[in-house]
Amino acid sequence: MPQLPDFPFDSLYADAIMDHYRNPRHRAPVLGGNIQSHQFNPFCGDEVTLDIRLDSQGRVAEVSSVSDGCSIIQASASMMADSMPGKTLEQLRGLCQQFRGMMQGQTLTDETLAGMGDLPALRVVRQYPVRIKCALLPWVALEEGIKQATPAN
C-alpha cells in the first residue's frame, strides 16, 4: 500500500486526511450485518464495501467500511464510518445530503460542521474537482445501502 500522498496536501486539513488514510477506522468485518453495499469506479480503481449492522432501535450498531484506491476515497470512507454509529438511517440520509452539499460548495453553519467529526477536512478536495467523486464514492455506497434497506415508501 503506498504511503506517499497522491494528493497535494498543503493545508491545515492534511493531518486529518492522512491520519484516516494511514490508519483507517472500522475495517474489521461485521457479523450479522443488515445492509451491504459496494461501489466501484472503473475509471480510477476506487472501491468501497460497506457492511452495516443495525440494532433493534434501527440505529447503526456496527459498521465495516473497507476501501481501496486513492488516499481521498480511503480517508472519506474511514471518516464516514466514524460518523455512523448510533445514527438512524434517516439521520444518515441527512448526513449524506450535508456531505454532498458541502462538497458541492454549500456553506454549512458552524453548528452543522461541528457535528460532522473529521469530515469537514475533506472540503480541501473541492479545489480539485476531478477528485470530488473520490470523496463521494463511499457516500454513494451508503445512499444505495439505505435505499435497499428502506423500500419505496
> What are the residues binding Zn ion (CB under 5 A)?
44, 46, 69-70, 73, 134
Torsions phi, psi of 2, nearest 5? -65, 140
Question: How far is the C-alpha of 16 from the C-alpha of 18, rounded, in Å?
Answer: 6
Task: Output the smallest distance, CB 46 to Zn ion, in A.
Answer: 4
Question: What is the smallest separation between the CB atom of 137 and Zn ion, expressed in angstroms?
Answer: 7
Nearer to Zn ion, 44 or 146 (CB): 44
Contacts of 14 (CB under 8 A, 6+ apart): 5, 124
Enumerate residues 6+ apart whose C-beta is below 8 A from 143.
Answer: 93, 96
**Least CB distance from residue 55 to Zn ion, whole Å?**
32
Q: 46 or 51: whose CB is closer to Zn ion?
A: 46
Q: How far is the CB of 106 from Zn ion (least distance, A)?
A: 22
Q: Which is nearer to Zn ion, 69 or 138 (CB)?
A: 69
Minimal CA–CA distance to 111: which of 120, 100, 122? 120
CB-nearer residue toward Zn ion: 72 or 81: 72
